[in-house]
Chains A and B, each alone.
Chain A
Amino acid sequence: MMIMIEMRNVSKTYANGVPALHSIDVVIEKGEFVYIVGPSGAGKSTFIKMIYREERPTEGSVFIQGSDIGKLKEKQIPYLRRKIGVIFQDFKLLPKLSVFENVAFALEVIEEPRDVIRQRVMEVLDIVHLKSKARFLPDELSGGEQQRVSIARAIVNDPHVVIADEPTGNLDPETAWEIMDILEDINRRGTTILMATHNQSIVNTIKKRVIAIESGRIVRDEWRGGYGYER
């Protein structure tokens, strides 16, 4: 199998002296679906930000498809991010753009022709079942629908990896399951998915690889593991 993400002896201490991660070693292969679990402040977000280079490791290296992204120049970062789709707990949609425009945005950035953009956006809106709401503004949608728009935006340019930072955190349980269906669907199409979550029942029901992080260290890494924390 091809290695998608690799961290070698990665440590991160923030500029204000707060330590976040400690000698992390991890390999994630192409096509995997991985949960990142752990208490708040354990370092899950830092772990994720390291992958799309919002943060740089203070020690060690992060490799995406074999290239050390710590060595990327400022100018090359946009090209890294085009290979990675990111989904946030708060959706991060542009409120003044329609659903269609929000998704098309990720393709305009990579200078696709307009007809390609049109076709591709409608395709992914179909995947997230929002084709009929293409002209709506984010405010006119429910939370689950908004998160589906952000998923569509994350996958529209066929990224190799999709990173989801608590994608179900703001949603009611039923809607959360809907989102999981879509993420699994995307994973089945061959996209690697990394999902940080606090949702115990999802992790315990949809069994996948689980990486547990506590106080900046990986304390557990199991195939088809459970959530493992009592709340």
Chain B
Amino acid sequence: MKGRTLVRHVREGFKNLGRNGWMSFASISAVTIMLIVVGAFLLLVMNINHFIQTVEEDVEVRVYVDLTATEEEQKELAEELKQIDYVESITYLSKDEGLDQLIDSLGEENREVFESLREENPLNDAFILHAEEPQLTKQVATSAENLSHVERVNYGKDVVEQLFTVTNVLRTVGIVLILGLTFTAMFLISNTIKLTIVARQKEIQIMKLVGATNGFIRWPFFVEGFLLGVLGAIIPIAIIIGGYQYLYANFMNQLSIDFAELLPVFPLTLQVSALLIGIGALVGVWGSLMSVRKFLKV
């Protein structure tokens, strides 16, 4: 294809937007509305995902050291624990620190009872491990169990497994929602675009009669579809960035529960915006090419 032909196609694509003013407006509106919904859901799902991650990262493995182990043997064990696959970090918690934590967590009434334990601390020294991926916690725990001088390993087996079941379900639901919404959006948008092109069947027929190749006919529609999609993404992007910023500023002040943190405005909203432009352009192009295809056989 010659360069000036490409220029012609781009120019025609722009002109067609104007020539079919109301139809273009209808298509762009369809894109806009669907992208607002998709964008809002993307933000929601990404925040839920972030929340899940935060919760999951709190999962840890406690490795209690055998009471009989000497200091040398404890150091050896620490080295061995570091060698385990997928261990990200390792922290030492002596039995005195452990007792402090325990007493703190039990509250004032029982303080005195437990203070007496300080004389004869019944707890073990412990190592706290974090796995690289929360889902790998179980594997890390199993490996730790097999080392010598380990009395027992605790990672809240039942709770953790239930937690992961819940988080996995939440993730799947999120992905299904986004995919379902995106497909619905694609269907609705391409249908609207199809209506605008059916109205131009005559134009395509004439192009074919004067000897236009199918490629030549498709190009301006490609450009037009692309423009419809990208133009349709402008308002959703403005709403996503503005709205999320507002939400972030107000929501974060009211709720200072640390595990319910919203993702920061940037780069999240920029990523979502890029995705919306991408979806818009893709759907626009796809919708318009699919519709033209039907009329090319003359």
Q: Interface of A with B (CB < 8 Å)?
A: 52, 54, 75, 78-82, 86, 92, 94, 96, 105-106, 108-111, 113-114, 153, 157
List residues 163-213 of chain B with CB under 8 A from any CB of chain A: 202-203, 205-213
Note all chain B residues with C-beta closer than 8 A to A54: 298
List residues 212-243 of chain B with CB under 8 A from any CB of chain A: 212-214, 216
The interface centre, meaning the residue of B202, B211, B212, B298 with most chain A CB atoms within 10 A of its CB, is B211
Stretch at the interface among B1-9, B35-43, B107-115: B1-9
Contact B206 A81 (CB under 8 A): no
Note all chain B residues with C-beta closer than 8 A to A79: 211
Query: A101 — nearest CB in chain B belongs to which residue?
Result: B15
Contact B19 A96 (CB under 8 A): yes
Contact A110 B209 (CB under 8 A): no
B171 nearest CB across to chain A (Å): 47
Query: B12 — nearest CB in chain A belongs to which residue?
Result: A108
Contact B213 A81 (CB under 8 A): no
Partner of A86, one of B8, B19, B209: B209
Partner of A78, one of B4, B19, B208: B208
Q: Interface of B with A (CB < 8 Å)?
A: 2, 4-5, 8, 19-20, 202-203, 205-214, 216, 298
Residue contacts A-B, CB under 8 angstroms, 24 given: A75-B213, A78-B208, A78-B211, A78-B213, A78-B214, A78-B216, A80-B211, A81-B208, A81-B210, A86-B209, A92-B202, A92-B206, A94-B202, A94-B203, A94-B206, A96-B20, A105-B210, A109-B210, A109-B211, A109-B216, A111-B4, A153-B210, A157-B210, A157-B211
Note all chain B residues with C-beta closer than 8 A to A106: 210-211
B52 nearest CB across to chain A (Å): 53
Contact B211 A92 (CB under 8 A): no
Note all chain A residues with C-beta closer than 8 A to B4: 111, 113-114
Query: A85 — nearest CB in chain B belongs to which residue?
Result: B210
Query: B212 — nearest CB in chain A belongs to which residue?
Result: A109
Note all chain B residues with C-beta closer than 8 A to A52: 209
The CA of A105 and the CA of B202, in the complex, are separated in Å by 14
Query: A93 — nearest CB in chain B belongs to which residue?
Result: B206
Partner of A108, one of B8, B20, B208: B8
The CA of A80 and the CA of B210, in the complex, are separated in Å by 10
Contact A92 B8 (CB under 8 A): no
Contact A82 B211 (CB under 8 A): yes
Contact A105 B298 (CB under 8 A): no
The CA of A110 and the CA of B5, in the complex, are separated in Å by 10
The CA of A69 and the CA of B216, in the complex, are separated in Å by 22
A145 nearest CB across to chain B (Å): 18
The CA of A78 and the CA of B19, in the complex, are separated in Å by 26
Query: A95 — nearest CB in chain B belongs to which residue?
Result: B202
Partner of A105, one of B19, B20, B205, B206: B206
Note all chain A residues with C-beta closer than 8 A to B213: 75, 78
Contact A81 B211 (CB under 8 A): yes
Query: A52 — nearest CB in chain B belongs to which residue?
Result: B209
Partner of B207, one of A75, A82, A109, A157: A109
The CA of A80 and the CA of B208, in the complex, are separated in Å by 11
B35 nearest CB across to chain A (Å): 28
The CA of A96 and the CA of B18, in the complex, are separated in Å by 10
Partner of B5, one of A75, A78, A81, A111: A111
Note all chain B residues with C-beta closer than 8 A to A96: 19-20
Note all chain B residues with C-beta closer than 8 A to A105: 206-207, 210
The interface centre, meaning the residue of A92, A105, A108 with most chain B CB atoms within 10 A of its CB, is A108
B13 nearest CB across to chain A (Å): 14
Note all chain B residues with C-beta closer than 8 A to A114: 4
Note all chain A residues with C-beta closer than 8 A to B205: 92
B8 nearest CB across to chain A (Å): 6
The CA of A109 and the CA of B215, in the complex, are separated in Å by 11
Note all chain B residues with C-beta closer than 8 A to A111: 2, 4-5
B6 nearest CB across to chain A (Å): 10
Note all chain B residues with C-beta closer than 8 A to A81: 208-211
Note all chain B residues with C-beta closer than 8 A to A153: 210
Query: B9 — nearest CB in chain A belongs to which residue?
Result: A108
Note all chain B residues with C-beta closer than 8 A to A86: 209
B37 nearest CB across to chain A (Å): 33
B293 nearest CB across to chain A (Å): 13
Contact A92 B5 (CB under 8 A): no
The CA of A113 and the CA of B202, in the complex, are separated in Å by 26
A56 nearest CB across to chain B (Å): 13
A80 nearest CB across to chain B (Å): 8
The CA of A86 and the CA of B2, in the complex, are separated in Å by 26
The CA of A151 and the CA of B197, in the complex, are separated in Å by 26
